[in-house]
Structure 1
């Protein structure tokens, strides 16, 4: 369970994915990223067999089903970004009817600055260090973050799917 929450929390601090760079150049990359992005799914590669990743996918799907935005990024045209992360506050209750996962009412909010050249996103991380990662778009409204770029040991084969709101 700690790995799942860690994965979801790390997603808020790290954006990365490897994908075809040509996809990112179809429209101005900077303009393409501007807007609000919400974690809507976890995609697990078909060859990966991981109960932890499967459980994390179920948690995200359940929370989306009750209109709970677990992780949100808002990229502004002025180069600022705000992240709202509820992942650290997930509680799973076991009862007679099975698992209950209420939408967390608490969240961590972080503000930073960002720039994007092609598919290379640079931002200031939680340690106040500049970090550059690769992001990928799938169409105009989907941003995918590869798990192996977040934590290769635990999350290889998963992708965090963010949808533009």
Structure 2
């Protein structure tokens, strides 16, 4: 069950974050758009101190474990031309709990997707290959941390959690 919750969360983050639409044909990027350009790796799941959710805590542990093994579970590359490349290993996770504790080998396979994006203030609009458009609220901290609030992913299941991506 915990594996399914983690997979659902990370897959949702991937789906909402892996494609966008850049409607500006101008080659010049404004300051807010250029903040997002670069490669971002999922490095943490922040939870509100008041949230006591075992599934979110388990997902946080798995992400931390994989980061400790230099495994990049989800990676997004936002290009200045409005294109986005994503690399997502979530669907290939294998979580093993045994006498030795938690064992989560880094998946060797991944799903890759290309899409487009645009940013207006804190509103990231993503258009996937099927031309489905989603707009989510993001936070960029210190030009090195991208945060997607859980409420933007799934208001009922991820309230109080933030997917944290670090610029590489």
TM-score by length of 1: 0.89
1:126 Cα offset (Å): 5.8
Alignment map for 1:72-91 (pairs within 5 Å): 72-91=75-94
Task: Look up the match of 1:161.
Answer: 164
Give the one of 2, 10, 32 matched to 2:12.
Answer: 10
Q: Secondary structure at the match of 2:157?
A: helix
Q: Would you identify which runs of 4 or more consecutive aligned residues in structure 1 move more than 4 Å?
A: none
Superposition deviation, residue 122 in structure 1:
1.3
Q: Which among 114, 117, 121 is matched to residue 120 of structure 2?
A: 117
- Superposition RMSD in Å: 1.4
- 1:69 aligns with 72
Unaligned runs of 5+ in 1: 16-26
In structure 2, C-alpha distance between the alignment counterparts of 1:33 and 1:47, rounded to whole Å: 30
Distance (Å, rounded) in 2 between the aligned partners of 1:90 and 1:103: 7
Q: CA deviation at 1:128?
A: 2.2
Structure 2: gaps (5+ residues): 18-29
Select which of 51, 60, 82 maps to 1:57: 60
